[in-house]
Amino acid sequence: MKNSTSLLVTITIILSIIVVLSACNDDDELTTPEKISVISISEDAGYPGDSVFIQGTSLDKMQSITIDGEAVKVVRSSENEIVFIIEDHTTSGNLILDFGGIATSYEKFFKIYDPAWENLLTIPNTAPVAPWSHDFVTAEKGFVSDGASLNKTIDGGNNWEAVLTGNNLSSFQAVDEHTVWVHGDSWNAKRSIDGGVSWTDIKFRDDFLVDEIYFTSAMAGWAIGRYASLESSGILATDDGGMTWTEALKVEKKLFHYTYTKIFQPSQNLVFIPDLENKILLKTSDSGENWEEIIMHFNHPVFSDDIIHFVNENIAWLSSNKGVFKSEDGGENWTEVIVDLADVGEEIVGIHFFNDKKGVLLGSKGAIVITEDGGVNWDLLYIEAGFIKADLISPGNVLIARTDHAIIRRQFN
């Protein structure tokens, strides 16, 4: 009886194996999952028009490819290779290969380079970064300094002419194509009214240490700084091209550390002077007759004068190491604006708005973040170098920027 039972069990097992083997030979009933893999991608960045090659296995099972949520143009697809072209409207973001549930989707951050920038001047690799500065009055006419030489172009950087040599020439302002100020130290400056052909020495007041000067015309300008005692700060004004200076405001506190101070004049009578270190904003709406001191309700640290921008009397933008912020009440209160740069490691080094809707953020690793709707939505592009500083030429919607190794220019529509 025991032997019969064992024989029956053996026969049952053999029959079960035959059934399984038969099922395995029937493709309609049981399939083996195919191995899908991405071995390599030729590039992780590119310009519009570039081709990108993806190598792998079973790539013909892919259902879609997107960059930043937009479908790409696939020009060739086979089992082992996919080729797509970067189109003009593509912006930086995650490159995603979707295999429709057959395998895990492949994801990689992909940079799109902005081809609209033009090179105006190449900075030598051996040159120190800090002394280089620039200021343009039009897209074609401007000045660049390496700290020891001030150079001028009138043809968009095709030709350059040295107009001044010396020390401490990095701090300067080109008011227009004729009027240029070089602010050498706290008591002295040089002024040219003929585009750099000749220069006049200008001396500020003996009792006042000037940190920053800003001219709105050839004749009218401001100087901010501290009195010689260093216990009080102030604003000086001139209406005769800097020949004489009068006191516009004296504040009995230490303000205007030059690294954190910049003068903004969105309109003829309106002037903002933010002291970011002390979170104080000085404002005049009547060309300096009266000044209002505004406490900036902003609790995060800031690091340079290039990360605040006043668009008009109400709207201002500011960046800190905690994010990007917007004020709609003239700089008193600030609200964080979501700009998703967390995955790309960018530090914002410049904010420039052409109007209340269209603006650009510039990043330390080459990011160009553009909004057309006042910061609700942003598009991300790149250049192949990190931004250091940029100036807005308006009207004209032109940015002139300094990178690690060049002075470059871009026209925005």
3-state secondary structure of 275: strand
Task: Please provide the average confidence, as pLDDT, over all residues in the chain.
Answer: 83
What pLDDT is recorded for position 49?
Answer: 95
What pLDDT is recorded for position 119?
Answer: 93
What pLDDT is recorded for position 12?
Answer: 47
Give the span between the Cα atoms of 276 and 314, in whole angstroms.
18
Residues of the chain with pLDDT under 70: 1-34, 101-104, 125-131, 185-186, 254-261, 302-306, 340-344, 395
Record the tokens describing residue 57, joined without a space. Answer: 């296995």
What pLDDT is recorded for position 261?
Answer: 64
Element (H, E) at 107: strand 106-112
Record the tokens describing residue 166, joined without a space. Answer: 């010396």
Give the span between the Cα atoms of 324 and 68, in whole angstroms.
21
| Per-residue pLDDT tens digits for 48-103 | 999 999 999 988 888 889 999 999 999 999 999 999 999 999 999 999 998 876 55
What pLDDT is recorded for position 10?
Answer: 46
What pLDDT is recorded for position 263?
Answer: 82
Q: How many residues does the chain have?
A: 413
Backbone angles phi, psi at 13, to 5 degrees: -65, -45
**Cβ(410)–Cβ(118) below 8 Å:** yes
Give the span between the Cα atoms of 389 and 403, in whole angstroms.
7
What pLDDT is recorded for position 1?
Answer: 42
Backbone angles phi, psi at 334, to 5 degrees: -130, 140
3-state secondary structure of 151: strand
**Cβ(86)–Cβ(70) below 8 Å:** no
What pLDDT is recorded for position 130?
Answer: 58
What pLDDT is recorded for position 304?
Answer: 54
In 3-state terms, the chain is what percent helix, strand and coil (to 5)?
Answer: 10, 45, 50
**Cβ(127)–Cβ(121) below 8 Å:** no
Torsion of Cα atoms, 15 then 16 then 19 then 21, to 10°: -110
What pLDDT is recorded for position 61?
Answer: 86
Q: Which among 210, 267, 217 is positioned nearest to 233, based on CA atoms?
A: 210
The residues, any chain, with a CB within 8 Å of residue 169's CB and separated by 6 or more, are: 145, 147, 148, 149, 150, 182, 184
CA 324-317-340 angle, to 5 degrees, is 25
What pLDDT is recorded for position 3?
Answer: 45
What pLDDT is recorded for position 251?
Answer: 80
3-state secondary structure of 152: strand
Q: Which domains does the chain possess? A: 37-112 (2.60.40.10), 118-411 (2.130.10.10)
What pLDDT is recorded for position 32?
Answer: 35
What pLDDT is recorded for position 92?
Answer: 93
Give the span between the Cα atoms of 325 and 303, in whole angstroms.
14
